[in-house]
Chain A
Amino acid sequence: MHLVLVGLNHHTAPIEVRERLAFPEAGLRSAAATLRRQSGVHEAAILSTCNRCELYASVSSPADGAALSRFLSQYHSVPLGEFEAFLYRHTDAEAAAHLMRVAAGLDSLVLGEPQILKQVRDAFAAATEAQAIGPILNGLFRAAIATGKRARTETDIGRGGFSVGHAAVDLARSIFGSLRDAAILILGAGKMSELTARHLVAGGAGVVLVANRTHDKAQALASKLGGSAIRYDEFPDRLVHADIVISSTAAPHHVVTRDLLLPVLRRRRGRPLFLIDIAVPRDIAPDVADLPNVFLYDLDDLEAVVADMARERAAEVARVEGIVAEEVARYMAWVRSLESAPLLEQLHRKHEQIRQAELARLRNQLGDLPDAAWERIEAATRSMLTRIARDPIRALKAAAAGDEPKGPMDLLTAARHLFGIGNGHSSPDACEGVETSADQEAVQR
């Protein structure tokens, strides 16, 4: 069984191509089910976002991977020749590594962005619901999701600051810890205020007050954010109780000045005040930043924070690649270990047949033994077989999970020969052969 990936993304294909090959969210399940029914395809899953379209499948041989690109062409009624040049194809470990890098955010347009992990989860859920997924892809997607989580918890690759709004939330958390009790005062009901406030509200901020020269606009924004509107001239008084102020008015002059804030700060008794000025021209006088316990960030400051965070995330790439390499190695070892499962099952079945046959013969010879004695014989023979088989089973599992190239006589093949087990078929004759008196004599000798 082989893992194959065929896809294209924002690195390889322009938007004009990506949009023609995108799978709508609602049709993802049926598409995965259809892909699963293609010849040579045993399992299938589709990851389709605005930046990528990737088909994952487990197939009998890597050559069957061609079915994936044909499916992509047929499903969207786009001739293969029109997009084949943009496609990438990976198999086995490379394919696994690709999905894990995607889940970790290494392949995203904005490095480490969190949305992709949810999209990988959605693709996994859709394929599972479509019953298009089996052990190989199930293991792959679980490993990819685990990799995405590890990357974000063990490194800084996914830490905030993807936008000005994210940076504002990060800064607010660094000041207040939890945003649960934080009160936000919004000055100016513009789009930028709304976007920034939305991030803070999503981050848990409690009270939201909106002040705008046009009260209707303030009310409209307040209702969107689940807050309340106040009259514009009330805002200086409200500054006393606010923790975070987002200012984005169209005023040509400073609306928050040092003189306005000084009496407010006295009443605040040193509680920190986080001022976010995203207006151009600026709403808050720059000298306000010198006041104690006031943290003023204008648009340039926030963008500098975003840039700093992007640099920090970029510095984390090598560590995330290390996590991906670990997870790929673990996943591939697990896939290889699957090869030993049928052999081990046959081996166990064969041993059990021998044991039962031997017990039946003993019953004929020693039929008058009490039940308790038979129970002990049963337990003793079972224990003996388990102990005899323990080391070979361990060795076979290790050999199957190992990374060594398989020669013509690898350990699994050798085990089949040694234990007289054919490829997928056990031999009843061989079972019988073990019980010959000649063998027993040989053992005694």
Chain B
Amino acid sequence: MMSVALTGVALLLYVAAAVLYGANFSIRTSGYGKTARWLFLAGIAVHTAAIGAECMATRHGPFASAFGTLEVLAWAAAVAYVPVEVAARTSSLGLLAAPATSLLLFAALIHARAEQYTSPLVRTRIINFHVLMVLLSFGLFALAACCAVFYVWQYGALKHPNRKALFRRLPPLEMVDAFAYHLVALAVPILTLGLLLGIVRAALGGLHGNWLLDPHTLVSLVVWAIYTGYLVARGVAGWRGTRVNTLLIVGLVAAAAIFFVPTSTHRFT
């Protein structure tokens, strides 16, 4: 299938970018960073084409299979990273963003042969928007978690100055903190909208089981609570530091759990 082949090419480009981001971090040659950026952008272009090919082949949105859903999630993380790198004026963040994108796309490829969802629900506009909004917010959360990992890493490097001046290779503490905050501030309203669309659709009826007690719904609400809590703590109460940044990593783990918990309402086969 064309979309799977294109996804494979995009994955190779992301992996190559990840390797060069790693080389740039360890050897500090600006040429590696620039090449990594171009490879990553090329990866996004091929990735976008893969999603387009998938939509054309199935004649509906990309969320008709686990493959398409994970593919869009990886795409959201990749696209969100580009403005961050431009604003940060450093490619050191790519050290985590590129492998994270590669990992998500690899997970998508594993599901490439999984059966298509047969439920007519996946072809409805409201469900497509619901899934798209949730996945976009998850992509942004993944990137915010990358920033948080850098924060904790840099914090440790600065607290222990004997670590071979590692702090110089990592992005500035305040910068990654601000990026994480802005990414979450953007993602939470998107997630809220996505969840509201899901609730509206559920209220219309016709879904399997009790949607309110569905583990997917419950975990989604936990994720929403964690990130909204972070926004309140960081934006309103002014909390800073490793604790609030650790919350972002916990939030991402919770978000990832959605893909592993059992569900009845969110089953479309």
Contact = CB atoms under 8 A, between A and B. Distances in A.
B168 A159 contact: yes
Contacts of A175: 158, 172-174
A301 B162 CA distance: 8
A161 B165 CA distance: 10
A407 interface: no
Contacts of A289: 159
Interface in B140-182: 154, 157-159, 161-162, 164-165, 167-168, 170, 172-175
Contacts of A155: 28-29
B161 A153 contact: no
Given A292-B241, A304-B161, A272 B28 contact: no
A269 B158 contact: no
A76 interface: no
B240 A272 contact: yes
B118 interface: no
Interface residues of A, number: 30
Contacts of A297: 161
B1 interface: no
A400 interface: no
Given A174-B168, A177-B172, A295 B237 contact: no
A295 B158 contact: yes
A173 B167 CA distance: 10
A129 interface: no
Interface string A35-63: 00000000000000000000000000000
Interface string A172-184: 0111110000000
A176 B176 CA distance: 10
Contacts of B244: 270
A177 B174 contact: yes
Contacts of A312: 164-165
A409 B29 CA distance: 44
Interface string B237-255: 1111110100000000000
Interface in B209-268: 237-242, 244
Contact of B173 (A159, A176, A319): A176
A154 B241 CA distance: 32
A295 B165 contact: no
A170 B164 CA distance: 14
Contacts of B241: 270, 272, 292-293
A327 to B, nearest CB: 15
B30 interface: yes
A279 B243 CA distance: 32
A31 B148 CA distance: 59
Contacts of B165: 161, 305, 308-309, 312
Contacts of A154: 29-31
A156 B154 contact: no
B240 A153 contact: no
Interface string B108-140: 000000000000000000000000000000000
A161 B242 CA distance: 27
A142 to B, nearest CB: 21
A292 B246 CA distance: 14
A215 interface: no
A270 to B, nearest CB: 3
A398 interface: no
Given A156-B28, A309-B165, A270 B172 contact: no
Nearest to B157: A174
Interface residues of B, number: 26
Could you say which of A175, A301, A319 has the most chain B C-beta atoms within 10 Å of its C-beta? A175
Nearest to A300: B161
Contacts of B167: 171, 174
A271 interface: yes
Nearest to B29: A154
Nearest to A289: B159
B172 A176 contact: yes
Given A174-B154, A174-B168, A289-B159, A271 B240 contact: yes
A15 to B, nearest CB: 32
Nearest to B154: A174
A292 B239 CA distance: 12
Nearest to B171: A177
Interface in A412-436: none
Nearest to B239: A270
Contacts of A270: 238-241, 244
Nearest to B88: A177
Contact of B175 (A160, A170, A177, A269): A177
Given A159-B168, A305-B165, A312-B165, A295 B159 contact: yes
Nearest to A172: B172
Given A270-B240, A270-B241, A174 B170 contact: yes
Nearest to A319: B29
A289 B170 CA distance: 21
Could you say which of B168, B172, B237 has the most chain A C-beta atoms within 10 Å of its C-beta? B168
B162 A174 contact: no
B19 to A, nearest CB: 19
A301 B29 CA distance: 27
A154 B27 CA distance: 10
Contacts of A272: 173-174, 240-241
Nearest to B90: A177
Contacts of A301: 161
A272 B155 CA distance: 10
Contacts of A161: 165
Q: When A and B form their complex, which 10 residue pairs have the shortest distance between CB atoms, in order from nearest?
A: A270-B240, A177-B172, A269-B238, A177-B175, A308-B165, A174-B167, A270-B241, A301-B161, A293-B241, A176-B174
Given A272-B173, A293-B240, A308-B165, 10 more contacts: A154-B30, A170-B168, A173-B172, A174-B157, A174-B170, A174-B173, A272-B174, A292-B241, A312-B165, A319-B29
Interface of A: 153-156, 159-161, 170-171, 173-177, 269-272, 289, 292-293, 295, 297, 301, 304-305, 308-309, 312, 319
Interface of B: 28-31, 154, 157-159, 161-162, 164-165, 167-168, 170, 172-175, 237-242, 244
27 contacts: A154-B29, A154-B31, A171-B158, A171-B167, A174-B167, A174-B168, A174-B173, A175-B158, A175-B173, A175-B174, A176-B172, A176-B173, A177-B172, A177-B173, A269-B239, A269-B240, A270-B239, A270-B244, A272-B173, A272-B240, A272-B241, A293-B240, A293-B241, A301-B161, A304-B161, A304-B162, A308-B164
